Every structure is written in C-alpha cells, then in structure tokens.
Structure 1
Amino acid sequence: MRVVIRLLQFFIGALAALLLVGVWWYVPSEMLRRPALTGTSEDSTLRVAGLRRNYVLYVPRQLSENPALLVVLHSARSNGEQMRRDSGYGFDTLADREGFLVLYPDGVGGRWNDCRKASSHDARRRQIDDVRFLSRLIEQVRSERNVDPRRIYVTGYSNGGQMAFRMAAEAPQLLSGIATVAASLPTAQDYSCPPPAQPIAALLMNGTQDPINPYRGGAVTLFGFGDSGRVLSTEQTAMFLARLNGIESEASPERLTTWGPVWSERQLWQAPGTPPVELVSVHGGGHLLPQQGYRPPRLLGRVDPELDGPEVIWRFFSQL
C-alpha cells in the first residue's frame, strides 16, 4: 500500500511540475514599448572547442573611438536575442547614448556552465567551457573594434549572473567589473569551482521576494521544484565581495525610489584605492531585471516601476 501511495505522490508531483513549466512558458509577456534604436545588431558565430557559438553584437551609430564593451549574459532557457527583450532593449538604448558596444552571447542549450555543483543541465553535464568561449569572444571583439581594455564589463541575469561570478573568478584579468541580477554566490559546499579570489568591482541587484534565488539565502529551486543547490544570502554575497576587495567599513543604505509595495535602496561599500561593491535591494521585487519596456511573466514576481536596472548597472560601470 505504501508503494502505491508513493507512486501516486510521485505522479501528482510530476503532473504539478509539468503544469508549472507550462505556466512558466505561457503566462503572457510582452513588449510595452520598443525604443527607436539608431544602431545595428550583428548576428555572428565563433568556433570554440569544436562548437559553433552564436552571439549578437549591438553597434550604436555613434560609436566612441575607443569604446567600452558590455557583455550581457542571459538567464536559463534563453539566448542573447531574448536577453535584449528581457532588458527592454535598455542596454542598447544606453549604448546609443553613450557610444559603447553591447555583446549578447548564447549559452549552449540556453544555459551557462556556472559554478553551482547541483546544476544538471546539458551545459553542465557536457562541461562546456564557457569561460574559454567568453574570453575568446571578448578578445576578438576587443581586437576588431578597438575596445578600451580598461572598460570591459560583464553583467548577467539569473544563470547569467552566476556565469558572471565564474568569469570574475577565472578571467578577472579581462574585466573591469561585473554586475549580477537575481543571483547570489553559492555556498562553499555547493561551489564546484574556486570562488572569486582577486578584487573586482561588483554590483548585485536582487529582489527580496525572489521566488527562485532566495534573497536571504537557501535552496535555489524552480518555485519549489528541482534542486540547484544553495546560495548565500544577498547581503552575505555583497559582504564577501567587499571583504575580498579589502573593504572593512560598513555600508549605509540609501533609498533609490519612492517607498511603496515595491521600492529599492542601495548600499555601497567603498574605500580608497580598491574596487567598490554595490548592492541594490528591490524590496518586494521578484526574479527580474527591473526596467519599464518589457512585461515579464507574472510568476517571476513584481518589479519596481521606478527602477531602471540597465541604467543603474551602466552608471555603476561608468563611474569605475
């Protein structure tokens, strides 16, 4: 009888998981407004380790003579072109204004091989060398476009944020800073590769009501299903990076947007002669990159209607 009950529980759980995945994909999302971009998006490929890898490079019409390069890494089950939409084309709009390049690479099978030990997706099982791919791609774009090597930045959303942490650990010599959204460092027992060990400027942007990456730390799940290991709390992650940079002082919170059901504040750790660490906490916010141009699936939570995530990220990088 117990076997029958367990089988029944298993099938009910499997059915619920399938329904949840269906809702994940089919809850409506839409562009609220698409900006009138002046630049061009170039689709191309790069062969690395026997694989043909895809990417999109956004080139503004008024490109600076020695432009900065911003690499934007998508979330799981996504790609570079989808990431442009997830960000409301906010990074492209900023590139038009500021004259920098935006690079949107694709992970293998919609995933990045980050450092979470519990991950079981295809890129992880195949041990795809995404650090090598991204490093080669950055070097290629830097050479071809005369990029300023002192202004190369990586930002990532969710799985892409975890990949940004890995780039900071394994290719820090290429980067001047990282920014992560809806991601926190894995706990020591759930880390499959060495954590960052060299000082690096870093910004974190996490929602306090994130249903996937828990703001206060703990198990990373897909709305309670699956197991992607455990992560530190958002503030523990920020403090780890601040201490890594040699910053011992405490940060004082500063409100960024008007208080309401969802509102944001910033904490900044800084000291003379060392890279800063900034934490943007979206109180009441979900598993999202805040912006006003694209409405994400409702299951991911709420956004701060006043917070422009791409603008905040670029402001941080441009002040380094």
Structure 2
Amino acid sequence: MHTKRTLKKFLQRLLLSLVLVVSLGAGLFGYFLYTPDAIEPKLSGTLQTATIDVGGVTYTYRLYLPNNLPEHAPLVLVLHGSGQNGAQIRMETGFGFDRLADAKQFAVLYPSSKSFDWNDCSNTGDFQVDGRELDHQSYLNTLVDRLVATHQFDRNRVFVTGVSSGGFMSLRLALESASRFRAVAAVSANVPAAGNFKCKLPRGEVSANSSNEAASVAGASSSSGTADTNNTANLGNAAPPDGSAGLDSAARTKHATSSVLFINGTADPLVPYQGGQAALWGMFFDSGEVLSAQASAEFFARLNQLQQQTPNTAEQATERAATTTFERRVWQGDSGVQVELITIPSGGHGMPQPDWQRPRLLGPSPMSPNGPELIWQFFNRSTQQSAPQQP
C-alpha cells in the first residue's frame, strides 16, 4: 500500500512538473515569438497572385495594382526575409507599401524566393531547392522586364526594397543590376565582409598602373580575383574587409551602382549594427560576417565617388503618439547617385512602422519612423537625379 501511495505522489508531481514546463514554454513562446497579424486596410486596388518560370524554376509573386493606376507608373519590389514569402512581408510591413501605392500611384510587387534565403552577395545561406542553387537575380530581372512590358510601368522608376535577407538581396541588385533598379533600400542588412562576399563589383575603365588600386576596394584581391591590365578591371568576387579601402578615381564609372538607402537599428540581435557575425544568438539564421552599417554605406559611397554632404543630423518622427529620434547621414556627388544611412537608436530587426509589432525575439519594434514612407521619399528623390547606367 505504501509503495502505491508513493508511486501515485510521484506521478502527480511528474504531471504537475510537465504542466508547469509546458505552461512556461507556451508563455515564453507567446512573449518572445507571438504577435497578432496586422489588419489589412481597405484598399482601392486588386492583389494579383501569379507564377513565372525562369530557368526551369517556377516562382510565385503577388502584384498590387491600385485602382486607376496611370500608364508609366513606378514599380516597387518588396523582398521578404528568411523563411518567408511575399504574402508575409506584405503583412509584416503593415500593408504600408499598399497604402502608399494608393496615395502615390505606384504598383507594388511581392516576389517569393522559393528557397529559405535569397541568393544575395553573401556566401552563407540556404538558397538551394532540390540540390539546385537558385539564380534570384535572373528571376527578378526577368520578372521586372515582363511586368514593365505587360503593364507599361516606367522603366526608369523601378525600385526595390527588402528586409533582412531581402535587404541583402536588394544590395546585390544595386551592384549587379543597377541599370534596372533606380534605387534600393536595405532594411536590417549590411554588406557582407571579405571572405563572405561573392558579388561582382561594377566594372570601371582603368589604366594598367591603376589596376591594383581598383582591386583594392575588394580588400587585397590576391585570393578573390585579380584586376585586368587590359585597360579594364573586373572588380568582382570580393568586398572590403572593413569598408576602408577605396577606388582610385580613374577606376570608377560615373554611375557605379543604384542609389542606396540603409535603415538599421542599433539593437538588432541578428544583423549587428557595428558589424560582425550576422546570426541570431550566434546560431540561427546565419548570414556570415558583415560590415558595420556605416562601413556598408561608405562602401557604396566610395564606389560612386560620393562625399558625406552634411554632419550627422538628428530627426524626429511621430506615429500614433510614439516619437522616435533617428539619425540620418547622406552621401552625394556629381554621379547622380545618393547613399543614405538611417540609424534608429535601440531599434531591433525589421521594418519600422506603426501597423505591426515584430516578435520581441527580434528586438525592440519602434512604431516610428514610418519605414515605408521614408523609403518612398528616398525613391522619389532618386528620380530627380540622372539614372545609373551599367557599362
């Protein structure tokens, strides 16, 4: 009898312990990971879902078209983060780009990557499906060309923004597809560091004796590609290890890249503002080593011969009684390309906006500044400059 009572108490305590563990786990999940979806607003237009086959791979995309959209309207691509799709980033940006599209008369494209990550400039990531590495640059270029032809969008006003992995992919398009994308905005993304960088830098006309200087932007290219001595330099397959190297003026094209906007939070737990290993807790969503946010902006500024135009300026933005002070740095020059860095003190990982709160696991989620509005303003300013051209 005594043995039965002891066993019964043991089982009761074990059951209670399991209940407590499950309850604690559910509580932690709810606190750190759960957040309710943003409520879709009443919009004027229609959302189309379609597929496109590129290189034998079928991709899905969503296209939002405001009502009475005029011919030659701008087109804005919004790229999702790791493990997501176009529908999710549409919601997680608070439907902010759709709202703006109604007000400013442009179309919004939400492509899905099919793989876990976009195949951006970093060597690290999961961009394979069925053992095949996906060519997302060709996919997006082909999709844009088709939609521009079908819907008569303005070819000179095609823009791309992205969050996290989508932001990294935006930077690749700024480097390698500048003739298609007038400006890009990378949110919670930095330039991959040397050893983690596989993109080709823009080609520039150089003399034989300046080829070494041209290659120096790749951070000592002895292991990652050499410059030609044939009056051209292939500035590819590497990135500066600290953002400090620069091109000789003779080695640059007038329009090396698209205009680029960076939006980064200083409390981002996944993509460190000061640079380093981009991974959550050093283990999850690993994107390899990256430059700091400022070094990333300076990298694009040097490629385009830009100088910082003003001292760092502090600005305030208020959304629904929530006020945030953020910092803006601007680089400009004669090339028609502009680079900006917006720093959000104590901001976490993701698009700042007032209509959806990110999971606490990704750090603080400020309601202001309104990221989609800042991005559209930057895109609109970029059209006041001459368009970039690929050599």
Q: Same fold (TM over 0.5)?
A: yes
Look up the SS of the partner of 1:142 in the other structure: helix
Partner Cα separation in structure 1 for residue 33 and residue 161 of structure 2: 26
> What does the per-residue CA deviation read over 1:291-315, in whole Å, with 9 as the maximum and x for residues that have no partner?
1111211111113323100000000
TM-score (norm: length of structure 1): 0.87
In the TM superposition, residue 248 of structure 1 has moved relative to its aligned partner by: 2.8
In structure 2, the gaps of 5 or more residues are 1-24, 204-255, 383-391
Aligned to 1:255: 314
Letter in 2 for 1:192: K
Q: CA deviation at 1:270?
A: 1.5
Identify the residue that residue 375 of structure 2 maps to in structure 1: 313
- What is the CA–CA distance in structure 2 between the aligned matches of 1:182 and 1:301, rounded to whole Å? 12
Matched, 1:235 2:294: yes
Q: Which moved more, 1:222-231 or 1:141-150?
A: 222-231
Q: Does the 8 A contact of 1:55 with 1:104 survive in 2?
A: yes
Greater mean alpha carbon deviation, residues 112-121 or residues 287-296? 112-121
Equivalent residue runs for 1:107-186 within 5 Å:
107-122=113-128, 126-186=132-192
Q: By how many angstroms is 1:263 displaced? A: 3.3
Amino acid at match of 2:270: I
Counterpart residue identity of residue 83, structure 1: I
Q: Secondary structure at the match of 2:51?
A: strand
Alignment deviations for residues 195-240 of structure 1 (CA, whole Å, 9 cap, x no partner): 4562321100000010000000000112221442100000000111
- Distance in 2 of aligned mates of 1:283 and 1:123: 38
**Cα-Cα RMSD:** 2.3
- Contact persistence 2:355–2:367 (CA under 8 A): no
Alignment check: 8 A CA contact 1:113 1:123 kept: no
> Cα offset for 1:101?
0.6
Q: CA deviation at 1:98?
A: 0.8
Greater relative CO (CA pairs within 8 A, separation 6+): 1
Change (3 A) 1:124 1:272: farther
Q: Structure 1 residues 121 and 153 mapped into 2: Cα distance closer, same or farther (>3 Å)?
A: closer
Question: C-alpha separation between the residues in 1 aligned to 2:136 and 2:38?
Answer: 33
Q: Which of 211, 217, 221 is equivalent to 2:275?
A: 217
Aligned to 2:362: 300
Contact between 2:115 and 2:126, CA under 8 Å: does it hold in 1? Answer: no
Which structure: larger Rg? 2
Gaps of 5+ in 1: 1-18
Find the counterpart in structure 1 of residue 63 from structure 2: 57
Are the equivalent residues in 2 in contact too, given 1:75–1:160 (CA < 8 A)?
A: yes
Which residue of the partner structure matches residue 207 of structure 1? 265
Counterpart residue number, 1:102: 108
**Count of residue correspondences:** 300
Letter in 2 for 1:183: A
Q: CA deviation at 1:127?
A: 1.6
1: CA distance, partners of 2:364 / 2:130: 30
Match of 1:271 in 2: 333
One-letter amino acid of the structure 2 residue matched with residue 316 of structure 1: F
Aligned to 1:27: 33
CA gap of 1:218–1:110, structure 2 versus 1, over 3 A, is same
Residue 236 of structure 2 aligns with which residue? Answer: none
Amino acid at match of 1:238: A
Aligned-partner SS, 1:154: strand
Q: 1:52 to 1:124 in 2, by over 3 A?
A: closer
From 36, 40, 47, the equivalent of 1:41 is 47
Q: Percentage identity across aligned positions? A: 36
User: Deviation string for 1:250-286 (max 9, x for gaps)?
Assistant: 5422222269996322111112442111111010000
Q: 1:125 deviation in Å?
A: 5.8
